[in-house]
Structure 1
Amino acid sequence: MNRFLFLSLTFAILLMGSPSKAGSKEVNWSKLYAEELFHITEVMVTDVAPPPVAARIYAYTSLAAYLVSKNQGARFENDDLLEHSYLGSYDWGITTSGQVSSPEFAAVMAFLKVGQEIMPSGYLLKEKQQDWIRRGLRDKIVTKKTLQAHLDLASEVAEKIMGVAKKDGYLQLSTLTRYTPQKGEGFWYPTPPAYIAAVEPEWKTIKPFFIQNLEEYKPAPMAPFDMSEGSSFHGQLMEVYTTTKELNQERKLIANFWDCNPFKVEFSGHMAIGVKKISPGGHWIGITGIAAQKAGLSFAETAYVHALVGLTLHDAFISCWKTKYETDRIRPETVINQKIDQRWKPLLQTPPFPEYTSGHSVISRASAVVLTGYFGDNFDYVDNSEIYFGLPERPFKSFLLASEEAAISRLYGGIHFRDAIEEGIKQGEKIGDLVWSKVSKNKY
C-alpha cells in the first residue's frame, strides 16, 4: 500500500461523530460530510491551489451543500448566510421537482459537482461522484426510483453556484497587468529555493461575500524599512534571526504543524519535487469538521458551519492579499541573507508573496472568531487534520488559542515579522466580528 493511500485511509478512520438513521443503515452525517469534502481537498493539493484560491473553492463548494439543505427546508441555529451577504440579491429559487428523500445525499453530490467545475483537476471528482451514488444505493440513503431526483437537484444547485462564481472576478484575473517586483530596498523579491513568482497579486479584485469596503479592514501601517540599530524594523529583523537560532523542539513542532505551504519544494540533485501540503484555509476547514463531529451536529448544521467558515476564509484572504501587495514588503529571508548572514535559512520555506500582513494570522483569527461564536468559548478539541501530511495530532483548549499559535508559528518558522503577525490578528478579528455580527441571531 502506498503512503498516499495509507494516509487517506488513516484520515478517514480518524473522522468520528454521532450517527443517524438512513434506510436500514446508520449514517454518521457529520463524519460523512468531512470524508466527502476531503475529496475536494485532495484535488486542491494535486492542483497546488494557492491559499486564496483554495479558500474560494471551499466557499463555493460548501455553499452548494448549504443551499441544498436550505432548499429542502432545513432550519438553522443562526441567520441565513445568503441573506446577510451579497448573495442575497440572487434568485436562488429551485425549479427541479421530484421526490428528494435525502437532502444530505443531494448536498454532497452538489458540492462534488461544484468541485468538478471549479478546479483544474476537478474531473478527478467524477469517480468520487460515482462512488457516492454506489454508496447511496448500497446504504439505502436513496433508492433507484428516487436517485434521479436527487441528481437533478444537485445539478441545478451546482449550476446556480457556478453562475455566481463566474461573476466574482476570478475569470478576469488573467487579463490584468502582471506583477513585476519593485526595485529598491525593502520591497518583496522571490525567495529560495525555487524563486516562484508572486502568487495572485490582483486577488483584491475578487468580490467578497460580506465585506463591502476593503479599506475599512486595512491594518495599521507596518514598520518602515530601516536597517539602523534601534529602529522598529531592525529590531524585528533581529528577533526573527535570533528566534530561529534558538528554537526548541516544541517551537519547531508548532512551526511545522501550521506550515500549510502548498508551494514547498525539495530538491534532489537537479530535480525539484513539490511537497504535498494542505492550504491554511484547508487546515481550518479540517478544524471545522472536527468540531462538527465532536458537537454531534446534524448534516444541515454541519453544512451551515462549513459554509460559514468557507465564506469567512474567502473574505479574509481578499483583505489580507490586498494588504500584501499594497505594502509589498520584503521577507525576512531576503534581507537577512543580504544584510546579516548569507547562509541563514528559515525553518520553514518562505511562501511566494509579500510579507505584510501574515496570512495565517488573518485567516486563523477570522475563522476562530466565527467558530467561537458558533460553538462557544473554550471548545476544546484535538486537531488531527495534519495526520494526512505526516504530522501528529495536537490538542487545543479553544479556537482562539489555536489561532494565536498559528500566528506565532510564523515567527518560529522565520517567515514573518512580529508586526505582520500582531496586526494580522487584529485584521482577522475585525473580519470575523463582521461576519459573526451579520449571521448571529444573538447579536452582540
Structure 2
Amino acid sequence: MTPPESRPARRSLLAVGAATAATAFGIAPRAAAARPSTVLTWYDATAETIAVAGATTQVTNSRTWAIAWLAAARATRDVPAGVHRATHQEAALAAAVHHVLVSLVPSRAEQLDTTLRQTLASLPPGRARDLGVAAGRRRAGHVLAHRQGDGLDPASVNAPYPVPAPAPGVWQPTPPSFAPAAQYGNRLARPFLLRSPSQLRPGPPPALDSRRYAADLAEVRAYGAVDSTVRSPHQTETADFWYGSSLTLYTEPLRVALFRSRHTTAELARDVAVFHVALVDTQVATSDSKYAHERWRPVTAIRTGSIDPDPDWTPLHTTPAHPDHPSGHNTYSGAAEVVLAAFFGARTAPFDLTSPTAPGVTRTYTAWRQLSDENVEARVLSGIHTRSADEAGIELGARVARFALEHQRELFARGPV
C-alpha cells in the first residue's frame, strides 16, 4: 500500500508534541536514578490484577491504572522532613497502588496483600515507612472518592444507543452478529483533564462523493477482505498482531521504558499516571467523535454502498460494534506514542513484543512511532477501518496526549482533580 501524503504531517505533529512537553516540563531522563524494583513490582501487580480479574471494558481498566498510579504519584511527591526519602516514597507508592487495586478489584485482595507485605518487609522499618504507608492510603482514598460516579464503569460505558435509520454513510450494526453499539457511554463520562469529551473532536470523515473516500474504500476492499489476493503474509501477520486490546499491547512497551529509565521513583509514578490519564481521556474523546459522526464501517459501505456493492464481501477480522471515525486503536496508539516520546525520548534500544492475537510471533521495535505506523496499516488490513479513520485516530490521540502533558500539573494540585 502506498503511504498517503498526510503521513509526514502526522509524524511532525507527534514530534512537536513530544518536544514541547519535554522542554516545558523538564522531563528528560536524569543522570541519577532510583532503583526501579518497587515501581516495577507494583506495575506488574497492576497488570496482573487487570489481566486476571479486570473489568470487561478497556476504558474501565485504563481508569483503574490511572487512579492507582495518580494516587501513587501524589503520595510520592511530598516527603516529610527528617525521614528517609526513598523509603517513604517506595512505601507510599506500594500502599497507594495496593489500596486502589483492592478497592476496585477486591477479588485479588489476597494476592495484593501478600505483595504489599513483601514490599514493606524489604524496606527499613520505622517512621519513614509508616508515614509512607499512611500517605499512600490517604492519597488513594482521595482519588477514589473524587472519581466515584465518573461514568467509566462497564454499565455506564455501554449505555444504550438508539441505532439511526439506515442511510448512506450512517453506521449500522455489522455482521456477523449485528451486535448493539458498544462504548456509547464513554462520550458521557467525566474525563480526568479534558474540559469536555468533545473538546478536541476532529472534523468529519471524507464525503461520500470525494476521491479520498473512494480511495479509502478501494484499499479496504482489496487488502482487508478475508479472501484477499493482494495482502501479503506479512501484512496478514500485522493485522493479526494488532487485532487485540491496545491496553494489553502497550503494557509491555511502557514497562520497557520504565525499566530502562533513569527517572526517580516519584517521576516513574508520574510517568505511569500521566500515560493512563491521557489514555482514559483519549478513549472518552474517541467515543465522542465516533458517535458524533456516526460513520458506517467498511463492511456496510462495501456491501450496501453505491460504489460497486458486493453483498458477500467479508473482512479479515470481525468488525467491532461501534462507528468507524476515528479508529480507537489508533487514537490509543497516537496518545501512547506522544507520552512515551515525551517522557523517554522518541527512540529506544531494541525491544521485543508479542501479541495474544498472533501466537508465536515476536516483533522488534526501536521507536514508539513504529507501533503507531503498524496500527494504521493493521486496521485497514483487518478490513475494519478506513485509512482516513486510522489517521484521524492518530491525530486525535496525539492532541489529547499533548493536552494532558501541558496540563499535567493539575493532576498534582493539592485539591482533587
Q: Is the 8 A contact 1:100 1:149 kept in 2?
A: no
CA-to-partner distance for each residue in 1:353-407, whole Å, 9 max, x for gaps?
Answer: 1111011221211221121111123224424363698453322221123222222
Q: Is the 8 A contact 2:290 2:324 kept in 1?
A: yes
Distance 2:137 2:356 in 1: 33
Which residue identity does 1:334 align to in structure 2?
T
State the aligned residue count. 369
Q: Which residue is 1:272 aligned to?
A: none
Q: Which residue is 2:355 aligned to?
A: 386
Q: Is the 8 A contact 1:368 1:399 kept in 2?
A: yes
Q: Which residue is 1:69 aligned to?
A: 76
2:184 alignment partner, SS class: coil
Which residue identity does 2:267 align to in structure 1?
E
Q: Which residue is 1:165 aligned to?
A: 147
Q: Is the 8 A contact 1:309 1:370 kept in 2?
A: yes
**Equivalent residue for 2:37, pick from 28, 35, 38:** 28
Q: Is the 8 A contact 2:181 2:321 kept in 1?
A: yes
Which residue identity does 1:300 align to in structure 2?
A
Distance 1:20 1:213 in 2: 37
Q: Which residue is 1:242 aligned to?
A: 222
Q: Is the 8 A contact 1:191 1:334 kept in 2?
A: yes
Distance 1:111 1:238 in 2: 48
**Equivalent residue for 1:111, pick from 86, 92, 97:** 97
1:220 alignment partner, SS class: coil
CA-to-partner distance for each residue in 1:56-115, whole Å, 9 max, x for gaps?
Answer: 2221122122122123379xxxxxxxxxxxxxxxxxxxxxx9999443244233223213
Q: Which residue is 2:405 aligned to?
A: 436
- Structure 1 160/418 Cα, relative in aligned 2: closer, same or farther at 3 Å? same
Q: Which residue is 1:156 aligned to?
A: 138
Q: Which residue is 1:57 aligned to?
A: 64
Distance 1:283 1:175 in 2: 21
Q: Which residue is 1:233 aligned to?
A: 213
Give ranges in structure 1 of 5+ residues lacking alignment: 1-17, 22-26, 75-96, 261-278
Deviates more, 1:417-426 or 1:374-383: 374-383
Distance 1:364 1:439 in 2: 19
Distance 1:73 1:409 in 2: 50
CA-to-partner distance for each residue in 1:146-181, whole Å, 9 max, x for gaps?
Answer: 877655443322211111111534479749973111
Q: Is the 8 A contact 2:123 2:129 kept in 1?
A: no
Q: Which residue is 1:273 aligned to?
A: none
**Equivalent residue for 1:318, pick from 259, 284, 288:** 284
Which residue identity does 1:223 align to in structure 2?
P
Q: Is the 8 A contact 1:285 1:306 kept in 2?
A: no
2:348 alignment partner, SS class: coil
- Structure 1 392/135 Cα, relative in aligned 2: closer, same or farther at 3 Å? farther
1:394 alignment partner, SS class: strand
Distance 1:337 1:175 in 2: 29
Distance 1:432 1:204 in 2: 17
Q: Is the 8 A contact 1:309 1:367 kept in 2?
A: yes
The answer to whether structure 1 residue 301 and structure 2 residue 267 are counterparts is yes
Which residue identity does 2:173 align to in structure 1?
P
The answer to whether structure 1 residue 127 and structure 2 residue 110 are counterparts is yes
Q: Which residue is 1:352 aligned to?
A: 321
Distance 1:249 1:190 in 2: 30
Which residue identity does 2:367 align to in structure 1?
S
Q: Is the 8 A contact 1:61 1:111 kept in 2?
A: yes
Which residue identity does 1:368 align to in structure 2?
E
The RMSD of aligned alpha carbons is 3.4
Q: Is the 8 A contact 2:242 2:378 kept in 1?
A: yes
Q: Is the 8 A contact 1:36 1:108 kept in 2?
A: no
Shift of 1:145: 9.4
CA-to-partner distance for each residue in 1:155-208, whole Å, 9 max, x for gaps?
Answer: 322211111111534479749973111111222222334433222213222222
1:379 alignment partner, SS class: strand
CA-to-partner distance for each residue in 1:391-441, whole Å, 9 max, x for gaps?
Answer: 53322221123222222211111110111112222222222222333459x
The answer to whether structure 1 residue 290 and structure 2 residue 262 are counterparts is no
Give ranges in structure 2 of 5+ residues lacking alignment: 1-31, 410-417
- Structure 1 418/52 Cα, relative in aligned 2: closer, same or farther at 3 Å? same
Q: Which residue is 2:238 aligned to?
A: 254
Distance 1:52 1:137 in 2: 31
Q: Which residue is 1:196 aligned to?
A: 179
1:217 alignment partner, SS class: coil
The answer to whether structure 1 residue 218 and structure 2 residue 227 are counterparts is no
The answer to whether structure 1 residue 180 and structure 2 residue 162 are counterparts is yes
Q: Is the 8 A contact 2:79 2:88 kept in 1?
A: no
1:395 alignment partner, SS class: strand
Q: Is the 8 A contact 1:217 1:319 kept in 2?
A: yes
**Equivalent residue for 1:364, pick from 305, 327, 333:** 333
- Structure 1 190/256 Cα, relative in aligned 2: closer, same or farther at 3 Å? same
Distance 2:337 2:395 in 1: 12
Q: Which residue is 1:48 aligned to?
A: 56
2:323 alignment partner, SS class: coil
Shift of 1:42: 1.1
CA-to-partner distance for each residue in 1:278-334, whole Å, 9 max, x for gaps?
Answer: x31343343211111122544322211111101111111111110001111111123
Shift of 1:216: 4.5
